[in-house]
Amino acid sequence: MHTNYYFLRQLGPALATQLVGLRLMECFSQDRDEIVLVFAEAKGPLSYYRPFFIKATLRPDFSGLFFAETVRRARTNSVDLFTKLIEVDTTGSAGNDSTPANRPGRLVTGVRSFLNERCLGIELTDGYTLVFKFFGNRPNLIAFEHDTVVDLFNHRLTSDNDLQLDQLDRPLDQSYEAYVASGYNHRALFPTFGKEVNEWLTEKSNGQLAGVDQWPLIQDTLALLNASRFYLTLWHHQPTLSLLPIGEVQWETDNPIEAANRFFVSFNGQNTFERERGSWLRLLDKRKKRAGALIDAAMERLMSRDEGLSHEQMGHLLLANLHAIDVPPGMKSPERLTVYDLYHEQPTTLKLKPDLSPQRNAENFYRKAKNEKIEEEHLTAQVTAQEAELVKIDDQRQALAELTNLKELRRYVKQQGLTNEQTAGPLTADQLFKEVDVDGFRILIGRNARNNDLLTQRFAYKEDLWLHARDVTGSHVLIKYRAGRPFPRNVIERAAELAAWYSKRRTDSLCPVTVTPRKYVRKPKGLAEGQVLIEKESVVMVVPKGE
């Protein structure tokens, strides 16, 4: 949560006490994904004192701020950046002398956070603002002159040139009335919670609280997020800065600058062995969770079969009551037939197909009964296999915890075949993609850009229906074709809701979603991961809704 909105909102005032009144004297980079800002009081044109350093790491896989006591600038392989924000003509005629040494830096007038957004801004004189943007895997440092972008740290993120400072705030209605109107979907109201907070809510409610009952827990959690208490914890086997006491808490403070520094040192101080072992432990935790979910789903399906009549029993009852059906030979059956259920000792109603004779309806029940037995055997085998997988995973986790060096770790990983490429057999669609079942139709959802390509290029057929939130990045979604059955409207709308939810339009009140058969989706050579061309489409408007 070191770049979470709730942390940045509390870091801003703490930084303001350190920076306001100082000048931005230097801004340089000695590393491709690292930038150093130096703030100080100007002592003269060539010197300054009381420096305050901000070292920002802005990598796609990790971004964060470190407030160092000192930073030594290398004599070589160092480049000045954002010079326009630093150089100020002492006579008031800016722009004539380009020598930074003759110009004191611009004064810091404030530090601000942005409403419901992962950004932190340092305000300077003359309408300039430096904004740290911590959006997922696209972090950047952006210079604004009033509302317009004038410079970027990472120029490869070209879309950042279109940002406007006055539009970074994201006001959201987070009232109880809005919670009810959203269908008790707290993720739509609080998109800034992130994984840690959502896991905290699930843990505290034991998976039992929902709807109205969850609202008090949400309010209590918000109070903790705003309580100015910061925890350095080990969460999912890696150092984490949290505003909640989750995981294995190792240290806590009420100083956000100190918390950011302790986390930065702890996270980046991990050695290769600790980092790799943590990644394998997280992979095993993920596999354990998936195996548990498969067992729960299979057991739920098996238990649901024990409720009510089986198709075999329906066939027996129908044959036993043929005399009660007043239908001449060769004529159609009634749609419903009420008989006495000998198995549960109560009346029951059998649903029949009117276009079939009673005898053919009985045959249909027996055919379904045969499929039921095959499915039951499959589900039972799946439960047995996943239970064995859970035992194996627990043994592997214990073994990993006992290893002490990198050589042993890599040897064990290779022996156990922990990587996806080394697992037994190819991964199936239900292992690779999110899957939802709606009225018997399978809906598959891509997890990321590469996974989207895999779904659309290798696991989709021309008859499948393809969906994607229009004009934004998001998951590819497929409705798998079922022979002889058209795609029902409610299934298409549900898939569209999922496509909207797993996109950048998740928090929109209404989202346009492209719907087209897979045969009209192409990926010409040269397109980036996840990008496709659509030759023919229709659009549906839906409210984004998750699983």
d(CA 258, CA 161): 33
Residue 64 in contact with residue 119, Cβ under 8 Å? no
Q: Give 34-66 as a DSSP string.
A: EEEEEEEEEEETTEEEEEEEEEEEE-SS-EEEE
Q: Which range, of 86-100, 272-286, 331-345, 404-418, averages the lowest pLDDT?
A: 86-100
Dihedral angle computed from the Cα positions of residues 83, 86, 92 and 97, in that order, rounded to the nearest 10 degrees: -40
pLDDT in tens, 166-217: 999 999 999 999 989 888 888 888 888 888 888 888 888 876 667 788 899 9
pLDDT in tens, 369-390: 877 777 778 888 888 888 898 9
Residue 376 in contact with residue 299, Cβ under 8 Å? no
Q: What is the mean pLDDT of residues 15-35?
A: 91
Residue 521 in contact with residue 470, Cβ under 8 Å? no
User: Which is more confidently placed, 332 or 211?
Assistant: 211
d(CA 255, CA 67): 13
Q: Give 120-178 as a DSSP string.
A: EEEEEGGGEEEEEE--TT--EEEEEETTEEEEES-TT-GGGGG-BGGG-------SHHH
Q: Which range, of 253-262, 267-276, 427-436, averages the lowest pLDDT?
A: 427-436
pLDDT higher than 80, residue 144 = yes
d(CA 302, CA 316): 21
Question: In this predicted structure, what is the pLDDT of residue 514?
Answer: 94
Question: In this predicted structure, what is the pLDDT of residue 120?
Answer: 95
The H or E element containing residue 232 is strand 230-235
d(CA 481, CA 461): 8
Question: In this predicted structure, what is the pLDDT of residue 493?
Answer: 94
Tell me the residue type at 139: P
Backbone angles phi, psi at 315, to 5 degrees: -60, -45
Q: Give 367-383 as a DSSP string.
A: HHHHHHHHHHHHHHHHH
Question: In this predicted structure, what is the pLDDT of residue 93?
Answer: 44
d(CA 87, CA 75): 21
- What are the b/e assignments for 503-514, b being 16+ CB within 10 Å? bebbbeeebbbb
pLDDT in tens, 74-85: 877 889 999 888
pLDDT higher than 80, residue 90 = no
Backbone angles phi, psi at 384, to 5 degrees: -60, -45
pLDDT higher than 60, residue 364 = yes
d(CA 304, CA 12): 54
CA 395 to chain centre: 29
Give which of 150, 107, 154 is closest to 133, Cα–Cα: 154
d(CA 1, CA 197): 9
Give the rounded percent of residues in the chain with a pLDDT score beyond 70. 91
Give which of 114, 111, 107, 108 is closest to 164, Cα–Cα: 114
Q: Is 479 exposed, middle or buried (0-12, 13-18, 19+ CB in 10 A)?
A: buried
> For residue 433, what are its two tokens?
């993609």
